[in-house]
Amino acid sequence: MKINEVEKRVEISKKSIRFYEQEGLLHPERNKENGYRDYSEEDVNILLKIKFLRKLSLPIEEIRRIQSKRLTLEDALKSLFFLIFSSLLPFLSADL
């Protein structure tokens, strides 16, 4: 499928899709006849996962590590939770 369709399905901009490609998170095939990117359902699913993880504020490098199986999603989320909790702890303990 073409980038316009992916943009509508995933609800992220073409610029973001290309950015994720440049970052090595997405690898669509190229149409041999015209050189256009040809996105698969797997590419759409990858973008949906990236979109979700970015909404959780996971950095690109951690998403890359998850994709390459150097980091589990569970460990990434634990780390994120710890970071959030640690930053809120002074505010929470001040009211106690």
pLDDT digits (tens, 9 = 90+) for 18-31: 999 999 999 999 99
CA end-to-end span of the chain? 55
Amino acid at 91: F
Residue 21 structure tokens: 């490609």
pLDDT of residue 30: 93
pLDDT of residue 23: 96
The band of 39, judged by pLDDT with boundaries at 50, 70 and 90, is very high
Q: What's the confidence (pLDDT) of residue 52?
A: 96
The predicted-structure confidence for 42-95, as pLDDT tens digits, reads as follows: 999 999 999 999 999 999 999 999 999 999 999 999 998 898 888 887 777 765
pLDDT at 96: 57
Name, in order, each residue with C-beta under 8 angstroms of 26's C-beta and a sequence gap of 6 or more. Answer: 17, 20, 43, 46, 47, 50
Residue 66: beta bridge partners? none
List alpha helices for 1-96, DSSP H.
Answer: 3-10, 14-22, 41-55, 60-67, 73-94
